[in-house]
Each structure stands twice: as C-alpha cells, then as structure tokens.
Amino acid sequence: MSPQLAAASAALLFAALLLAGCAPAPPPAAAPRLTAPDAGWVARTLRRMTVEEKIGQMIACRFTAEFRNADSAYLREIESLVAEAGIGGLVLFAPARVTDAAILANHFQGLAKVPLLVAADFEAGPGTRVSGATQFPPLMSLGAAGSEELARAMGRITALEGRAMGVHVTYAPVVDVNINPDNPIINTRSFGADPLRVSRLAAAFIRGVQSHGMIATAKHFPGHGDTSVDSHSLMPTIEAGRERLDAVELFPFRAAVEAGVKAVMSGHLAVPALDPAPGVPATLSAPILTGLLRGEMGFKGLIVTDALEMAGVTNTFSTEEAALRAVLAGADQLLLPLEPAKVIASLAAAVRDGRVPQARIDASVRRLLEAKASLGLQRDRFVRVEDLRRRVAPRAHLAEAAKAFESAATLVRNDGPALPLAAAPGRLVILSLSGDRGDYYAGRAFVGAMRRRFPGAPAFYADGATGAELLDEAFARAAAADTVVLALFSRLSDQKGTVELDPRHVERIRALASLEGGPAVVAVSFGSPYFLRHIPEVDAYVCLYANTPETQAVAAQALAGEIALTGRLPVAIPGLYPVGHGLVLERKTP
C-alpha cells in the first residue's frame, strides 16, 4: 500500500470513530473462528516473495499502544519496519489501551503488503497488557482453583477480546512446571508443580483460546520451571536427566500438542540431556526444536523463539548469529531481534551463499502464511473499532474473572483459629510490606478494604527502601496489638532476580510471630506462595498469588469471613506443606 493510500485509510478510520458516536451502532461482527487455511492464497503469496520478503515474514517486533502523534519518531520507525523492511509480525506490549491498540493494529495492517500476525503476552487474560480489557489472575491462581471450566473460560475471553482489538496470537499458556521455589521468573506464571494438573488446565485453556479464533502458544519449551536463574539476564541450565524431563518438563508440552496447540515458544535455557553442545540454549538447538519437538513429539505448528533481545542469548551470541542459529534449529518466527533490518539482510545473505537452505526458509514462511490464512487475515485483516465497547470487558467477562480471583484464595494455615477475624477483633494492626523499592503503597487498596470492615485499624506501609528505625517503631507498636495482619508483596518481573521478601522484613516478622503472649499474626501473600517458608511462625497464611485491585478486595473479604476459602496449593512449600494442601473455611453466617 502506498503512503498516500495508508494516510487516506487512517483518515477514514478516525472519521469513522467520530461518526460512530452519532450514528446507530451496527451489530457487532461475528466472533472469529480458526479455519482450514486457504492453500491457494498461501502458495501464490509464497511464490511471489523475494528472499528478503520471506525472511521479513519470520520477524516480529514490539509496539506499545498509548496515544502518540502521527508524526512521532516511534511510529515512523515501526511503520518503516512494516512497510519497507516487510516484517511479518508485531507484538503488543504495555502501556496499551483498548481503543489505541485496535486503531494501531488497523493502521499497521494498512501498511503491510502481507497481513501482519499480531501477538501479545496475554498470560493473565487480555488485561495483562491492555488497560481496560478483562484482567484474570495469574495461571497459578487457576492451579489453586483447579477448575478446567475457569481455564477454558479464561481462554475463551482472551480470544474474544484479543481478536476484537486486532490481536491474533496469545503467547500463553505458560506450561512450565514450577518445581523450583527459587525460580525468579516463572513462579506464579505457572499453573503449579504437578505436571498432570498443569497439563489438564493448559489443555482446557488452549481449547478455550483456539475454539474462539485465536492461536495459543505453549511456552517455554522444553521447560523453564526448574531454574533459579532468569533467562532475561543469564542462560539457565536444566541438569535433569531424560527420564525426569519426560515425567515433568516435557509432559505438559506433549499434552499441549495433543490438545492441538498451534504454536510453541522455545526457552533460552540449556538442557544437556537433550543437546550436549555446551552453552547452546534450546532456542538455537536443532536436536531440541527439530529433533524433539518436530520429530519425536510430532508438532506441526509454529515454533516461536522467546525474545532474541534477552541476555540468555545476547550474552553469548550476536544478533545475526542468534537469528541464523535459530532458523537452522527450526524456529519459524524470530521474536524481537535487535536491529531487525540487519537480521533480514544477514539471513538473506546466508540463503544466497548456501548456509541456510532455501527450503528451510520456505517451510517456515509457509507455516506462517497458513497461520494467517487460518485466522482469515487474507480476507479481512482489520477490526471494527466501533465493536470494542460491546466486545471488550462486558459484565459477563468480568464476572468470570471475579470467579477466578475468588476461587483461587488458599488458606494454608489457620492456627487458633485466627480466621475469620471477629467482627471486633480487639486492637487490629495492618502492616503492608513490599520487598520492592518504590512500591511503598502496594497495599493501599487492601488497607482501605480492611478499614471499611474494621474502622480505625492503624496501618503502616513499608517498601524495600524503608529505614530500619521506622520498621522497628512499626513492629514495636504491632507487638502490642491483639491481631496483626501482614500484607506481603514482591513483584515478579524480568531481570529482578528474585521474588522474595525483604530479609529485614522477614527478620522482624519472625520475631513478632514468636513473641510469647504476642498477637495473632495473619500473613497474606499477594505474590509468591513460597513466602511462608521464610516466616513459618505465623498463625495464619492466605495465598492470593498476585497483587491486583481484585486480589486485595478478595483478601479483605476472605479475612472477614465474607467468602469461603476453597483453594489448594498448586505447589509444595518445602518442609511445610505438599501440593494440594488447603484448608476449607466456610463463609461466616450473617
């Protein structure tokens, strides 16, 4: 499409948005479905492409979707990658808003010679990346609820809302089996530590996604759950033997393939039992991607790399070498390579000088085109912005998400019993403790919800930067209370290296909970369920698995006895509780 035609299309789109507020709303478009690909279109499109155009189809670059002026350098750069470099995919990241995401997706589609495959990490529903869309809890919450119905509903809603915004692929579910409590990057992103439960819930999620017109992606092959290193920063190594890998790491991937998953994402981790070549991550390993995933496991869909900008690859390999090795290993789509135009040129040169067979490129591009055709993009690549207010975050979707948040709440310990809190629990003190600097008011919503139920309860906030003097003063005051409620936070984020609590907070919590004749101490985890292993002295422990407004509201309801607690631990707490443990606490009668 010419720049003039693209500009005209953008102008028409914005005009349509303005008029939509005045004209009667048309009925929403029918929900999309995955179909058999148009073989004729695939063959014709592949035949007409140059080597550079074919390789461009294998590249996916990031974009965000907050408001920007049309002449911003950021937009011009992405427009150039789409219109001139001919990349075949885009990946939506936050910050993003619903309408901006759809408008930009349409705009970039209008610039593309071949329809773009747009993806996003919707691991916890479309609200994971897009503000205003339906937000679900992380997958570990679904593991705690144990409900295939909720997993399927989450997949369905992810697909319906994602497709309405112009997103065709979710890089979910995470099917890594989190058996390492020190895992700093998977943790609550996993369904849990039981390969059977992970497989069952992942299959339900995949079916929910793909039966409603979106491609699901199982990740991070061959399994990132037994690592204590974040592959955004370093390349982890899985030392397990083949027997253990088959029983744990590979088990959910086989189940995902059997469930018909259309894409698998590789992980930047070395697995010597699968490929003994030193220092080679799975993303760049032909024995793992082609030999195991394609050959042994019979996977026919898209193999997508994890982001090639991550240090798990870039610490050892240049951008061009990583891209070359990934293609030779069997990857179909290269995610977020540094300097994509340079990668296209270097791979084209490798094809022309015989280092990469033309057939290897053609096989990947054919799979990508088939994926686009199965989505119907060759017929209509655009979304109807006027449909967004009816298709994104309707009350029915929000109700399903609320059910998931509530069903996940897990009562791990309740000595005394300390819960539910009495209507007048004596002197109640709330301590909101975040292990992250700059997250001082992490528990503000929880404190507000608690004070509505227990008026006048004093609260203290601390983060990773709060000084020792203030901490000592707060804990000294708490020691005189009848009940202390601890709201515990630690963000799970790439390159952070840990999801643990601040050791200074842990030390003071243990001392408080060990006081002879001291207060009842109730701890609520708004993150990793493994916090308890560091504070085993607390009287009660409740897991919510995430810090969101929804989890903070549910936690206050749970402590007050307004809802039943039925969740089960999806992981083991070493030395304390096994997978599947959970106490049932019935709702208090009015």
Contact 474, 460 (CB under 8 A): yes
In contact, 78 and 106? CB cutoff 8 Å: no
Alpha-carbon span 118 to 93, nearest angstrom: 11
Is 306 a known active-site residue?
Answer: yes
| CA 60/CA 41 separation, integer angstroms | 21
Active site (annotated) includes residue 212 = no
- The tokens describing 368, both together, are 């990508």
Which among 212, 224, 232, 268 is annotated as catalytic? Answer: 232
Q: Determine which one of 306, 387, 436, 502 is catalytic.
A: 306
Interstrand relation of 540-543 and 410-414 (parallel, antiparallel or unpaired): antiparallel
By C-alpha distance, which of 24, 365, 421, 375 is closest to 210? 375
Which sign, positive or negative, has the C-alpha torsion 287, 326, 376, 398?
Answer: positive
For strands 215-221 and 169-170, give the pairing: parallel
CA distances from 288 to 107, 174, 222, 296 (A): 38, 18, 8, 10
> Is 530:579 a contact under the CB 8 Å cutoff?
no
Phi, psi of 430 (to 5 degrees): -115, 125
As given in the structure block, the two tokens for residue 49 are 């492409």
**Rounded Cα–Cα distance for residues 394 and 390 (Å):** 7
DSSP secondary structure letters along 541-583: EEE--S-SHHHHHHHHHHHTTSS-B----SS-BTTTB-TT--B
Nearest to residue 453, comparing CAs of 584, 525, 555?
A: 555
DSSP letter, residue 308: T
Which residues participate in catalysis according to the annotation? 232, 306
